[in-house]
Amino acid sequence: MPARITAEEAAAMVRPGDWLDFGFGMGQPDAFDRALAARDELGGPVWIRAALSMRRRAVLDADPEGRRFAWLNWHFSGLDRRAHDAGAAHYIPMNFGEAPDLYRRFIEPVDMVVLKCCERDAGGYYNFSGACTYHAALVERARRVVVEVDPLLPRVRGRRNAVHESRVDFVVETDGHGAPELGQGAPGDVDLLIARHVAAHVEDGACLQIGIGGLPNAVCAAIAESGVRDLGVHTEMLVDGLMGLHRAGRVTGARKRNGQGKMVFTFAGGSGELNRFIHENPALETWPVDETNLPDRIMANPGVVSVNSTAQIDLQGQAASESAGARHLTGTGGQLQFVRGAYASNAGKSFLCLPSTRTRPDGVMESRVVPGLQPGTIVTTPRTDVMYVATEWGVVNLKGKSVPERARALISVAHPRFREELARGARDARMVPAWFL
């Protein structure tokens, strides 16, 4: 049996130079985080890996310059992005589905892993809740495993979504904070237009992957209104929109081949209602991320429809979804793997969605469809992989198109105010013949 200790006793084991891992999303610890942050005497950096923080992290608040705690992150939330902007966090590039393999093959054993889990069950297992992801592999690679028990976390059914007490060294009991909530934001008029364009391409029996944000959730609402049936779900992130589709009776999973009859996901993030929905729900299964996100697993289901957001796209079709110039915003996540898996699926489709414009802080409107990406901007999905691109002005398919045809297609879904400017830029760059646009 693992020893019961306090969060302060667990934090006292940490030494300068140690490598810690806080895990992913709702699996990140809270009591241990506060206890570690309170250790003012730590002189050298403690290296901490984590991903998608859903609550403020005390170690970042206590050390905003990153002198005691070096915060290394696989995928930024808004909280992580602000820490990065302040110089206290740094990004680790990763295709999300590769995370378990990265820990097993390329990362040295972690000195201490601290994960928030559900209470021990009758079989001696601590459930990872809605943060299955790479946690099983992470535990395998840990020299010391600490479980922070939260009795208010939802317990989620699935594959390898728990650690047995025989692998746990210490348990920190807490009264619990429950699962954090992710605000989605109400979709705007532009989001709703894009959503309707995408929903028109979704057919009966499609297997859905929906990304993060208000726009993908708007797509779910538009699909529910469209009347399509027998949908399946095989996704990275379970979001409120997919819950809504299930409650509307649109999701059966009957035509799936991988996880038939189940809504399959690797982590959940959304409202309190979603957190209640995932608790012991027999319609759901959470799997490790290498079983949800690797393209060969995705393509096993027919008719995969992958819907993700991007921040900017150039006239060649390069999609930049994780940075604005040198400023890092989010991460690669599973976007590229789902784009590829959807394409390889029988009759599959992938959509990258974006509003055609953005308004800068100074009030100036600029196009998100650009002749070329600005220096420092990270390409998330290469032009060779991009399939459908959707804005409020329509949907275009780039597969099989030459560079001039791509430029013309993308200009057609750019904001009308910028189309002539984009055409001129394409001609000046000799991307298209002078007579083509």
Question: Can you give the pLDDT at residue 213?
Answer: 78
Mean pLDDT of 306-335: 95
pLDDT band at residue 114, thresholds of 50, 70 and 90?
Answer: very high
Question: Can you give the pLDDT at residue 346?
Answer: 98
Q: Count other Cβ atoms within 10 Å, centred on residue 233.
A: 27
High-pLDDT (> 70) share of the chain, %: 100
Mean pLDDT of 298-313: 97
Euclidean distance between CA atoms 243 and 435, whole angstroms: 49
pLDDT tens digits, residue range 378-411?
999 999 999 999 999 999 999 999 999 999 999 9
Mean pLDDT of 408-419: 98
Strand partners, 309: 353
pLDDT band at residue 437, thresholds of 50, 70 and 90?
Answer: confident
pLDDT tens digits, residue range 93-111?
999 999 999 999 999 999 9
DSSP string, 215-279: HHHHHHHHHHHHT--SBEEE-SEE-HHHHHHHHTT-B--TT-SSSTTSEEESEE-S-HHHHHHTT
Q: Evaluate if residue 276 carries a pLDDT over 90.
A: yes
Q: Evaluate if residue 184 carries a pLDDT over 90.
A: no
- Give the CA count within 13 Å in the CB-facing half-sphere of 164: 5
Q: What is the largest CA-CA distance in the chain?
A: 76
Mean pLDDT of 15-33: 98
Active-site residue numbers?
Answer: 236
Mean pLDDT of 291-310: 98
Which residue in 381, 140, 344, 331 sits closest to 258, CA to CA? 344
Q: Evaluate if residue 44 carries a pLDDT over 90.
A: no
pLDDT band at residue 187, thresholds of 50, 70 and 90?
Answer: confident
Q: Evaluate if residue 185 carries a pLDDT over 80.
A: no
pLDDT band at residue 1, thresholds of 50, 70 and 90?
Answer: confident
Q: Evaluate if residue 348 carries a pLDDT over 80.
A: yes
Question: Can you give the pLDDT at residue 186?
Answer: 79
pLDDT band at residue 43, thresholds of 50, 70 and 90?
Answer: confident
Q: Which two tokens stand for residue 8?
A: 């302060």
User: Considering the chain, what is the average pLDDT of its residues?
Assistant: 96
* Top CATH class, 3-173: alpha beta
pLDDT tens digits, residue range 155-167?
999 999 999 999 9
pLDDT tens digits, residue range 204-252?
999 999 988 788 889 999 999 998 999 999 999 999 999 999 999 999 9
User: What b/e readout covers 375-404, taking b as 16+ CB neighbours within 10 angstroms?
Assistant: eebbbbbebebbbbbbbbbebbebeebebe
* 3-173 shares its CATH topology with 189-428: yes
pLDDT band at residue 426, thresholds of 50, 70 and 90?
Answer: very high
What are the extents of the domains in the chain?
3-173, 189-428
Question: Can you give the pLDDT at residue 389?
Answer: 98
* Helix (H) / strand (E) containing 163: strand 162-164
Euclidean distance between CA atoms 259 and 238, whole angstroms: 15
Options 3.40.1080.20, 3.20.20.370, 3.40.190.170, 3.40.1010.20; which CATH number does 189-428 get?
3.40.1080.20
Question: Can you give the pLDDT at residue 88?
Answer: 93
pLDDT band at residue 28, thresholds of 50, 70 and 90?
Answer: very high
